[in-house]
Structure 1
């Protein structure tokens, strides 16, 4: 096949077979922005699913950052509706930061996609990343001084608590996706941010042709990523074993580490395991970049003597080893309305009861909140939770009564099983389920351009 040939139904079937098994009538969600990659994927998977008695749900996330985004989402809905494909548009959940960085937008996008899949009971979320996206990611992470886990690029599939992410097109060139749309007489959305040279990914994209002139082609970069991905899986298995022995993860969202076991492990294993502990407690998707992780891991090997912060976490020496606690001052408050569900701080899956008395604000207690709570219930002062954990506990506050700090309006602290008299009426579900679990399914790669999955 040439780089300008449309993608065939047979090719899609072969790629999707790599993700078997599916349910008898598969239902697949697709993240569709309206760009050529995601739109082509949505149409191709709709045909694949229909041939098996299933269906596709296209999900567009409108962050509200560009005025034209709403119109683009409407256009996507019209295109899909004309072809009998379901479509949903979701926006930013809760309060949006004044300055939204690309990482914020990306994390919010994944949270919203996961939430829709969980609500609909959809087990598979397809993403339209292609061959060049994978190579760009490797270059970005190389520039960011990533180690093995980052340089392996994108996973072919990734298991998450409520859904698995799949990338069926990751070994295909973008030109074939554009050809697929043209073959169907369709256009696509042109997001101007994809041409903004201030964005590092756009800069890396512009470098690829120049690198290819010197022999460092997209194919060569992806071949390297595939080899590193295979090595990454081996290291991940060792990290899983270390994490199972040396880390205890508490449902309140903190962890205890045995520093002796980390000191005895090989650095590449211990450093990665530390990063995964920080992700599970800090709620981020990507591990800390640069040399800060290495420096912290080095201090763990020589004996950490003072509190350090990294990845939105505090790492605190204590008698029982090390505590990893969320930096509660960095947690943004989130407002939920009755019946709404959300991933709060990238760590807690929360559903407000449809019959809740009103809107609720979810945020950490903070020191003032803990002090106010223990004034009401003095017995909590003797609670077994370590002192640094207490202000980081998430609380549910009645929105109309909530103050910026303190315990006013507090109706529930789920991890203390603390409920005010009407607290049971507020929460339908509360689970600690970080974006990146402490352990999980290993990294998966496309070994070569022939789409063989390991």
Structure 2
């Protein structure tokens, strides 16, 4: 049942290769995907110690019992288990995004306490397809359409890995069923109040039109590849057009910025804003700054002054871009999410099957 051609073990094995310095924390909700992750990891007997954590969001009466069931299964496999509770008030709107942020925060904190340097989740190709569709509906740029990354930094010294992004959920369900491994199904996964649940309900109709999980995952791979190339080009351009400033601030040669491809110039300004200490801006506002005001001013040889992300961004008569802190605004509300560029860092995703 665990031969060398096992796709679940084959996908997971590279993440548990010998030589890992720290512990590996498995995020397990009790659903089929994350349950397969836990049992498959235990069967591979890695040299790095395995830990298991379950998030109890406190949103469903059955959640505590499900977390306890994961704990019993983990202990039967000889794996330490912890239940991490999301405490405090819950938002009325944006609940799933808030729950996602809480999950990652709880996992990162627990990993730091336990000495883990790698967190593994059980996101599948189906989850990736849903993420791409949600980003498409939101009008995202390439970074959003790139979906979830197979690996990213969750916190300093802590990686987040998603070994099953190339597998369909049915493969993990079948893997558990073939071995008689019990799992639960989270009712929120079919609750039409949530966008992901509505997309799951529409999956069959979308696939009939060609929007299969395989094709959407392929789109994510291509978007990630192209976004990485544009980002690298922007990083090189920023180094090339940055000017020295007596106060150590951010100054750019706007005339050279003007001649860059617009997609690179957009990302270059985003990187410059980040380097200048700015934060809290949406893609639409960044695009308005660059395409409606900044580039036209540089092409016309006129001056410009706008505020964005807590910065004043100006173009002087010489075509030099100057980034400086904006004065505090009265009655300013909370900052908008940063672009990340241009997909808010890591897109909304779920730990295991939550």
Q: Per-residue deviation at 1:317?
A: 3.2
Pair 1:188–1:16, CA change in 2 (3 A): closer
Aligned residue runs from structure 1 range 374-453, under 5 A? none
Match of 1:77 among 57, 64, 71: 71
Q: Deviations over 1:301-326 (max 9, x none)?
A: 34552324xxxx43323698224789
Tell whether the 8 Å contact from 2:235 to 2:271 is kept in structure 1 after alignment.
no
- For the residue of structure 2 that corresponds to 1:67, the secondary structure is coil
Aligned counterpart, 1:296: 289
**2:24 touches 2:120 (CA, 8 Å); kept in 1?**
yes
Matches within 5 A, 1:42-441: 42-48=38-44, 50=45, 52-92=46-86, 96=89, 98-99=91-92, 101=94, 102-160=96-154, 161-242=156-237, 256=250, 258=252, 260=254, 263-275=258-270, 288=282, 291-298=284-291, 299-302=293-296, 305-308=305-308, 313-317=309-313, 321-323=322-324
- How far apart are the structure 2 equivalents of 1:104 and 1:282? 23
Determine helix, strand or coil for the equivalent of 2:219.
helix
User: 1:137-189: per-residue Cα shift (whole Å, max 9, x none)?
Assistant: 11111111111111122212123422111111111111111122223323323
Unaligned runs of 5+ in 1: 249-254, 333-345, 347-433, 439-454
Aligned length: 319
Cα 1:105–1:283 shift into 2, 3 Å: farther
Structure 1: distance between partners of 2:242 and 2:102: 28
Relative contact order higher in (CA < 8 Å, ≥ 6 apart)? 2
Please state whether the residue corresponding to 2:81 is helix, strand or coil: strand
Superposed CA offset, 1:342-367 (max 9, x none): xxxx9xxxxxxxxxxxxxxxxxxxxx
Contact in 1 for aligned 2:50/2:79 (Cα 8 Å): yes
Higher helix share: 2
Is the contact made by 1:236 and 1:269 (CA closer than 8 Å) also made in structure 2?
yes
Give 1:120 shift. 2.3
Deviation at 1:214, TM superposition (A): 2.4
| Shift in Å, 1:194 | 1.1
The answer as to whether partners of 2:132 and 2:144 remain within 8 angstroms in 1 is: yes
Cα distance in 1, alignment partners of residues 325 and 14 from structure 2: 38
Cα distance in 1, alignment partners of residues 205 and 143 from structure 2: 26
SS at match of 2:310: strand
The alpha-carbon distance between structure 1 residues 294 and 40, as it changes in their structure 2 partners (threshold 3 A), is same
- In structure 2, how many angstroms separate the alpha carbons of the residues matched to 1:282 and 1:205? 37
Structure 2 distance, partners of 1:268, 1:329, is: 31
Rate the CA distance shift 1:297–1:107 in 2: closer, same or farther, 3 A. farther
- Whole-angstrom CA distance in 2 between matches of 1:18 and 1:275: 35
- Residue in 2 aligned with 1:409? none
Q: Could you say what the CA RMSD is over the residues aligned between the two structures, in angstroms?
A: 3.9
> What is the rounded CA distance, in whole Å, between the counterparts of 1:59 and 1:9 in structure 2?
28
Deviation at 1:33, TM superposition (A): 1.6
- Alpha-carbon offset, residue 117 of structure 1: 1.7
Q: What is the TM-score of this pair, normalised by structure 2?
A: 0.74
Contact 2:279 2:310 in 1 (8 A): no
Q: 1:242 to 1:83 in 2, by over 3 A?
A: same
Tell me the TM-score normalised to structure 1 length.
Answer: 0.60
